[in-house]
């Protein structure tokens, strides 16, 4: 495979864009080499600037659940664009997508649209703090909630229960209000509540973690979390930016039968355009301006092109009764196929999977939290990544990412992928 034009484009980009990219994980820092530049995509395939065809398991990091350039979404955007691309006034379409999202997701009465998952999570914790009149939040190590200051926090050392900034520019003052817990460890969460009585506004969690590989919640963990939050008058926030409209129509809330107090969305909800949203019961959402005191706004929020794309996407998912079963069946097939060839090649590995999310870890032990996710052999992953790329299969350029299965993938594509894993495994 030749990456000549991509390499040239990257060199040009580096002169005018920090690191050549507008979001760091695109830069291949975790695996070495230089990133491919996309030229176009259709269905299950990406085409790069050197005209290589790649089977895509990143899918824009989640949104393209029905494959690239899904026709109803493309058509909806084109038709809308002809009528004006932004008004700064309310439009009927915003109400329609809100009604549809509320019908699909359990336990929400109202929804507010923003422009990214970051904005959704940032606004959700502001709302939770205002609603509970408390300042601190608990997040879990290895969960990602976007790049706003409150979430760029690492665990403090030793016995300190509060976090420390994990990016320069985040202040100590912000960090002290974010407490770090271990994923899947309810006793740890209880201890944090005990040590910070009447101070915790909310617990925010990826109900299936997807930013340390795919890490499912242990049986009963989300239910227990809900109970602990309830006992301490704290809100439970599900960050469903990755899982929303992906694991089920109603996301992880539906899949696990646990109601969150606030749910955050992004990725799939925008059909590939920049959309985020957060939603809750009426009494919580009514705290938002202009009804309530909590300020939150956006010049391009509810943008007509973005709403058109999102509405077409949600309609497609809502009207296809078999979609989630189909996605799960394809993912299970891939899981079994990869497991078989890795075993046959004596590779040490663990595969995690929920619905259409799957991750391959090069470690024999179960991956249940950030600590165990970090045990994976990164050198093996790097070789695996580049080997797969060479075979025409594009997985995320980081050992801490989930693969996303789309409905556009055929069983033939999956077989090609499994055979690629078999070939690459022989070189590891």
- The residues binding ligand PLP (CB under 6 A) are 116-118, 121, 144-146, 206, 210-211, 239, 241-242, 266, 276
Catalytic residue among 136, 226, 267, 382: 267
- CB nearer ligand PLP, residue 26 or residue 182: 26
CB of 412 to ligand PLP, least distance (A): 29
CB of 170 to ligand PLP, least distance (A): 16
CB of 57 to ligand PLP, least distance (A): 15
- CB nearer ligand PLP, residue 242 or residue 373: 242
CB of 134 to ligand PLP, least distance (A): 22
Q: How many CB atoms are closer than 10 A to CB 400?
A: 22
Instruction: Return the closest-CA partner of residue 210 out of 254, 175, 235, 242.
Output: 242
CB of 147 to ligand PLP, least distance (A): 7
Q: Is 133 designated active site?
A: no
- CB nearer ligand PLP, residue 241 or residue 285: 241
Catalytic residue among 3, 45, 144, 256: 144
- CB nearer ligand PLP, residue 65 or residue 418: 65
- CB nearer ligand PLP, residue 138 or residue 242: 242
Q: Is 144 designated active site?
A: yes
Q: Is 239 designated active site?
A: yes
Catalytic residue among 48, 239, 369, 407: 239
| Residues catalogued as catalytic | 144, 239, 267
């Amino acid at each position: 495979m030749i990456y000549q034009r991509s390499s040239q484009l990257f060199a040009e980009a580096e002169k005018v864009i920090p690191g050549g990219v507008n979001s760091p994980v695109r830069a291949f820092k975790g695996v070495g080499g230089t990133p491919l530049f996309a030229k176009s995509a259709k269905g299950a395939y990406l085409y790069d600037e050197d005209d290589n065809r790649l089977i895509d398991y990143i899918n824009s990091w989640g949104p393209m659940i029905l494959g690239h350039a899904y026709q109803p979404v493309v058509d909806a955007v084109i038709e809308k664009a002809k009528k004006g691309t932004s008004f700064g006034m309310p439009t009927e379409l915003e109400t329609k997508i809100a009604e549809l999202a509320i019908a699909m997701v359990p336990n929400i009465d109202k929804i507010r649209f923003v422009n990214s998952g970051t904005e959704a999570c940032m606004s959700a914790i502001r709302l939770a703090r205002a609603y509970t009149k408390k300042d601190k939040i608990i997040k879990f190590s290895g969960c990602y909630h976007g790049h706003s200051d409150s979430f760029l926090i690492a665990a403090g050392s030793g016995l300190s229960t509060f976090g420390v900034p994990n990016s320069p520019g985040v202040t100590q003052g912000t960090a002290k209000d974010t407490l770090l817990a271990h994923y899947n460890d309810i006793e740890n969460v209880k201890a944090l509540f005990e040590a910070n009585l009447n101070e915790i506004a909310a617990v925010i969690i990826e109900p299936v973690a997807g930013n340390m590989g795919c890490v499912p919640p242990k049986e009963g963990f989300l239910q227990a979390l809900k109970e602990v939050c309830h006992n301490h008058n704290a809100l439970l926030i599900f960050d469903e930016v990755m899982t929303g409209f992906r694991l089920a129509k109603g996301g992880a809330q539906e899949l696990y039968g646990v109601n969150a107090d606030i749910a955050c969305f992004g990725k799939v909800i925008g059909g590939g355009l920049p959309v985020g949203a957060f939603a809750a019961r009426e009494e919580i959402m009514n705290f938002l301006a202009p009804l309530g005191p909590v300020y939150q706004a956006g010049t391009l929020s509810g943008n007509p092109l973005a709403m058109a794309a999102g509405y077409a996407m949600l309609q497609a998912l809502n009207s296809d009764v078999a979609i989630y079963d189909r996605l799960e069946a394809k993912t299970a097939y891939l899981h079994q196929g990869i497991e078989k060839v890795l075993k046959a090649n004596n590779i040490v590995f663990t595969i995690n999977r929920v619905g259409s999310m799957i991750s391959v870890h090069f470690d024999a032990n179960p991956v249940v939290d950030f600590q165990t996710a970090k045990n994976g052999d990164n050198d093996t992953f790097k070789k695996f990544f580049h080997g797969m790329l060479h075979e025409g299969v594009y997985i995320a350029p980081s050992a801490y990412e989930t693969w996303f299965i789309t409905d556009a993938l055929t069983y033939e594509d999956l077989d090609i992928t499994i055979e690629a894993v078999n070939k690459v495994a022989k070189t590891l």
